[in-house]
Structure 1
Amino acid sequence: MPPATPRYLVPFHPKRIPHHFVDVLIVGGGIAGLRAAMEVDPPLSLLVITKDAMRESNSAYAQGGIAGVLDPDDNFENHVADTLVAGANLCDQQVVEMVVREAPEAIRLLMQWGAVFDAHAGGELMLGREGGHSHRRIVHALGDATGHEIMRAMIRRVEQQRLGQLWPDTFTIDLLTDQGPDQAMECRGALVWNAHHGKTFVWAKQTILCTGGSGQVYRESTNPPIATGDGHAMAFRAGAVLADMEFMQFHPTVLYIAGSSRSLITEAVRGEGAHLIDSEGARFMTGYDERAELAPRDVVSRSIVEQMEKTRHPCVYLSLAHLGADEVRARFPGIAKACMQFGIDIATDPIPVRPGAHYMLGGVAVDQQARTSLPRLWAAGEATSSGLHGANRLASNSLLEGLVYGQRAGAGASRLALEEGDTFHAIPLENPPVEAPAGAASAALDLEDIRNALKSLMWRNAGVWRNGPSLDEALRSIHRWTRYVLPRQLTEPDGWELQNMLIVSELMIAAAQQRTESRGVHLRTDFPVADDAAWRRHVRLRRSDQGEVIVEETPQSEPSA
């Protein structure tokens, strides 16, 4: 039976495409995907698909660390309270308490799998502090390469347990959906593509989406090139509900060197005592917030943008000159190396920084067990909206979320797959070619030009600050592009990524238009204050049968803090 409506992207017919059958399919190989893989029962067949090399994910680029209550002077209540405050009264308190209480055991499990965290000479873990945290509770590795060390250990563990079940360099084009016994649509796997083998149908009893973020829709971003929102877009096309898509977290301190790629300057730099100064050398954060450099990311990002406007300068600067030079270089070796490429000694020279898109708070809506609204589809990590982060993620809670929800997704999918008999067969799905709307352009597309235009538009009109007219203008431009880009039957990942980025950008803007207030990372100049009476609720998005975006609001929730 064909999908309810054509979904653009590639036309297909099963008879012309090879088939592969598995019990559990995991799309994405970051921390959430690999943690899910470890929970799949050994008798089950498992396939993990990543669109790049296994080590290329947002997880691998994480610098700061993982938050967890490991200090006797700290407690779960403190970590919960810090998370709720950062989340701007939009967190799910039950979710926050669940994740925070599981953090210590999740960190200890990583250590059992071989992850080596920085420790004092006596073996006691070094605990750092970052913006928004009331206590030192951040474990880190290799100074500022925590994600790299965690992924090294997890990849090694998965490869040992699941030899031959990893498909790197494979692009997931779309989820496969069909009507279930109750006539409701359900996920049955995915259509994937590899440069060497072309397209393949991967039929699965259960599918777990762990595709990461979408920071590449912005011109200024800390995210690697792979973060194009593919999971968000394919889940939307498949009919899953998404939530909180207006909440993109901008990291306040991204290395700003004109013409170079943007590098993250971890939150831990400010946690260790770095000062933010403007182009005139003045420390300015104390004038915006009593917590100064240790204020949550949304406050620091907004303050930096305001200070840049006041000084009419393209960036501000991080200064570590008042700290010990040897200690600074030893604590942040990765940042020191990256800055030295541009002749900047972080121990003595100010580091030019400005905000950049960093972490997607919104995504596929999941419950506490990582179930989505689409049967047979689970999701974990940055691709989701779980209720942990609310309107602003507390630093170093993201890797933790990936571990906790990855475990739940893997365990739940494994349990249901074990309960289902091995009646593998191909479902006769079809996705016929879609005719372009009348008047749509038929000339060849310059994909790079459209992508650059989209990224600039999103940064300019839906960035740290946004307002109604700028969002309206952005949506009009995106609709013009989608009319002649989405119906195209493109044949390679660059084209599919652009289609996904257009869909995700439209969803982000639709949600931002709906939320007529400022809350957490969502800052509107035309509605500059939070409105708890009207907006202590979530904006949910789903696809209509005609392919249009339907915007809904959840009932008003009780205060979370």
Structure 2
Amino acid sequence: MNIVEADVLIIGSGIAGLMAAEYLSMDKNVIVITKSGVEHSNSFMAQGGISAAISKTDHWKNHYDDTLQAGHQQNHPELTEHLVKESRKVIQTLFEWGVPFDRTAEGRYLLGKEGGHHLNRIVHAGGDQTGKKIMEVLIKRVKKKANIVSGQYAIDLMVDGNQCYGVYCKDKKGDITMYHAPHTILAGGGYAGIYSVSSNSHGSDGSAVCMAYRAGADLADLEFIQFHPTLLKHEKYTGLITEAVRGQGGILVNSRGVPVMDSVHPMKDLAPRDIVSRRLFEEIHVHGETVYLDITGILDFEQKFPGVTALCKKAGVSLEKGFIPVSPGAHFTMGGIMTDIHGRTTLKGLYAIGECAHTGVHGANRLASNSLLEGAVFAKQSAEHILSSKAEKSRSLPILQDKRFSIQEDLEDELLEEILIKKVMDVSAGICRNKVELERAAELLQLSDLKPSLFSKPLSYIRRLNIQTMAWLTVSSCLNRTESRGSHYRTDIPISRNEWCKKNIVRSLKNDESTFVKKAVTGLFN
């Protein structure tokens, strides 16, 4: 077994992980671990921009109000305020680092508008290639300062008591490497990949959340999963059609050309994503319609949206007629590993940032273009906290004491096939949910062993274990929230109108090594 020492370990190479590495590498020995290439992240794929109240007619309070309204008042007020107040600084920092944000002829930022925003405040780069432009700059900078290790799948955290001191990783050959550090940051993304139709890159299996759960960290609000209204509907290709298209005048229509959002919400096609997704779900699955994004009113579409244009051409969808077939798909997860404003989890030495973290800033439904912003803001928060912390004493490495190294299992554990798990999630925990289907799914997804030996298992097994674990946790959380709120819509329960919300906390079993008990999800807490 290889042992590698560092001051800080960062699991994940999206905007959150790389920005944390950029800040920390000024004074720390930083290792960034990624399961595939550094370019393969949802951040790199992000078509939308970064929301920031920077125009003369805008104010952070407007951004704050829009964020809470989209989040159905489930947001953490103080952290949300910090998020929107920092948006100007994020844009300025990224610009100074070299991100080529789009500008007007007069040199001002070209601000777009997306769902849930009442004002134009979305900063883009390269039209619909904001994530790519940002990540290219970050990768170039971080490669000079930190050690980026690709092809390492993090399988479990090293925990002693309530202290995390590193992570075990496995490569494709099956070799184990133990990365040891006083500070470990999980930035491994969300879990929208547990659904069959998702805008996420391959690998969004919730592995970071599952590792934290197995290690004993608390999770929260896993039932809140955002379905993006406009994924390209094609039998071979799935890709995101950015909300900025609707911000430029795109209209959702059915096969008869009738606008589907006109009488649904005052903001029509730019209503919050949960509302638009449910409306499209109804049109497609109840009325048997096909939904299109009408782009006939957008001038110079191919120049404004090169990424969407390339996606449509790849799929063989002609843009000449001006209609792109779309349907909703799993896009972003608001729940995750519970953290404070510094990214600290309930385990000492363990931090979480980006989509795998639950800061509470997104509430029950994320406001468009707040995701890249969250990753940038809380990456800085975690980095500054670590840089200001006293030096941790190195712990001895209890390799020989870990019994899991000696366990050899001849029989394959019973895990569901990935395709079956995703079908179960589509049917039971998708855009519309109900108690009967959720209970059936919870029983089917139940695991017999919470903490199996992963060291002798192939990566395919570990990935399936994470997907099934994440699916079970999500379904259990859906059952626990006995209300309809935001992206969590239960057809058997009316939409909640009150502004008092409870956090759906998942407590880990911590010391239980034998069974994945159904009562692990302990209920609603203030």
The verdict on a shared fold, with TM-score over 0.5 as the criterion, is: yes
Deviations 1:202-250 (A, max 9, x none): 1111111100011110011001111110001000000000001000100
**Is the partner of 1:513 in helix, strand or coil?**
helix
User: Which of 156, 170, 175 in structure 1 is aligned with 2:157?
Assistant: 175
Cα distance in 1 between the residues matched to 2:234 and 2:152: 33
Q: CA RMSD in A?
A: 2.1
Match in the other structure for 1:468 = 435
User: 2: distance between equivalents of 1:383 and 1:126?
Assistant: 30
Cα distance in 1 between the residues matched to 2:190 and 2:520:
22
- Write the distance in 1 (CA, Å) between the matches of 2:174 and 2:234: 40
Is 1:216 the counterpart of 2:187 in the alignment?
no
1:507 alignment partner AA: L
SS at match of 2:252: strand
Give how far 1:335 is off.
Answer: 0.5
The amino acid of 1:78's aligned partner reads: N
**Deviation string for 1:19-62 (max 9, x for gaps)?**
11111111111100111112215342211101110011111111
Label 1:310 to 1:468 Cα distance change in 2 as closer, same or farther (>3 A): closer
Pairing partner for 2:397 from 422, 426, 429: 426
The equivalences for 1:58-97 within 5 A come to: 58-97=42-81
Q: Quick one: distance in 1 between partners of 2:176 and 2:412?
A: 25
Distance in structure 1 (CA, Å) of the matches to 2:160 and 2:171: 24
Q: Of residues 275, 288, 294 in structure 2, which corresponds to 1:312?
A: 288
User: Out of 314, 326, 343, which is 1:353 matched to?
Assistant: 326
2:341 corresponds to which letter in structure 1?
A: Q
The TM-score, its normalising length taken from structure 2, stands at 0.94
- C-alpha distance in structure 2 between counterparts of 1:342 and 1:40, whole Å: 41
Superposed counterparts of 1:235-384, under 5 Å: 235-258=212-235, 260-313=236-289, 315-324=290-299, 327-346=300-319, 348-384=321-357
SS of match in other structure, 1:263: coil
Q: Which runs of 5+ in 2 are unaligned?
A: none
1:303 counterpart letter in structure 2: R
The Cα offsets for residues 329-366 of structure 1, whole Å up to 9 and x where unpaired, read as 11101101111223323353311111100001000000
1:471 to 1:86, Cα distance in 2 relative to 1, 3 A = same
Q: Does 1:541 align with 2:506?
A: yes
Q: Is the 8 A contact 1:19 1:426 kept in 2?
A: no
- List structure 1 runs of 4+ shifted beyond 6 angstroms: 433-436
Q: CA deviation at 1:194?
A: 2.3
**Aligned ranges 1:28-177 → 2 under 5 Å:** 28-40=12-24, 42-162=26-146, 165-177=147-159
Look up the equivalent residue of 1:465 and give its one-letter code.
C
Aligned residue in 2 for 1:12: none
Cα separation, partners in 2 of 1:443 and 1:170, compared to 1, 3 Å: closer
- CA shift at 1:493, angstroms? 2.2
Q: 1:176 to 1:322 in 2, by over 3 A?
A: same
Q: CA 1:141 to 1:41, structure 2 compared with 1: closer, same or farther past 3 Å? A: closer
CA contact (8 A) 1:208 1:410 kept: no
Structure 1 residue 427 displacement after superposition:
2.8
- Which of 500, 520, 526 aligns to 1:550? It is 520
Counterpart residue number, 1:202: 179
Measured after TM superposition, the shift of residue 412 of structure 1 is 1.7
The one-letter amino acid paired with 2:269 is E
Query: How far has the Cα of 1:411 moved from its partner?
Result: 1.9
What is residue 8 of structure 1 aligned with on the other side? none
Which 10-residue stretch deviates more, 117-126 or 383-392?
117-126
Q: Deviations over 1:163-195 (max 9, x none)?
A: xx110111111100013xxxxx21010001223
Alignment of 1:229-240 (within 5 A): 229-240=206-217
Q: Which segment is superposed worse, 187-196 or 394-403?
A: 187-196
Q: 1:43 to 1:386 in 2, by over 3 A?
A: closer
| Partner-residue secondary structure (3-state), 2:155 | strand
Matched residue, 1:492 = 458
Instruction: Using the TM superposition, give the Cα deviation of residue 529 of structure 1 relative to its aligned residue in structure 2, in angstroms.
Output: 1.4
**Greater Cα offset, 43-52 or 425-434:** 425-434
Q: Which amino acid aligns with 2:506?
A: L
Aligned CA distance change for structure 1 residues 197 and 442 (closer, same or farther; 3 Å): closer
Shift in alpha-carbon separation, 1:84–1:347, aligned structure 2, 3 A? farther
CA 1:213 to 1:118, structure 2 compared with 1: closer, same or farther past 3 Å?
A: same
Which consecutive unaligned segments of at least 5 residues does structure 1 have? 1-16, 180-184, 557-561
CA 1:424/1:301 → structure 2, altered by over 3 Å: closer, same or farther? Answer: same
SS in 1 for 2:64: helix
Q: How far apart are residue 311 of structure 1 and its match?
A: 2.7
Contact 2:113–2:244 (Cα < 8 Å) also in 1: yes
Q: Take 2:413 and 2:69, find their aligned partners in 1: how far apart are those partners? A: 50
Q: Which amino acid aligns with 2:293?
A: L
Question: Hey, what's the Cα distance between the residues in 2 that align with 1:265 and 1:123?
Answer: 27
In the alignment, structure 1 residue 388 sits paired with structure 2 residue 361:
yes
CA shift in 2, pair 1:85/1:531, >3 Å: closer
Distance 2:27 2:396 in 1: 19
Contact 2:51 / 2:123 at 8 angstroms: preserved in 1? yes
In structure 2, what is the Cα distance between the partners aligned to 1:554 and 1:35? Answer: 34
Q: Separation in 2 of the partners of 1:361 and 1:51?
A: 22
- Aligned residues of 1:328 and 1:347 also touching (Cα < 8 A): no
Q: CA deviation at 1:409?
A: 1.3
SS at match of 1:270: helix
Q: Which range moved further: 344-353 or 151-160?
A: 344-353
Answer yes or no: is the 8 Å Cα contact 2:237–2:315 preserved in 1.
no
**SS of 2:85's equivalent?**
helix
Deviation, structure 1 residue 268: 0.6
Match of 1:6 in 2: none
2 CA distance for matches of 1:74 and 1:25?
38
Please say if residues 172 and 459 of structure 2, whose CA atoms lie closer than 8 Å, have aligned partners that are also in contact: no
Is 1:523 aligned to residue 489 of structure 2?
A: yes
- Cα offset, 1:123, TM superposition: 1.9
Letter of the 2:15 partner, please give it.
I
Contact 2:505/2:525 (<8 A) preserved: no
Kindly provide the amino acid, as one letter, of the partner of residue 272 in structure 1. Answer: Q
TM-aligned CA deviation for residue 408 of structure 1: 1.1
Aligned length: 518
Name the stretch that deviates more: 491-500 or 166-175: 491-500
1:514 corresponds in structure 2 to 480
- 1:532 is paired with a residue whose SS is coil
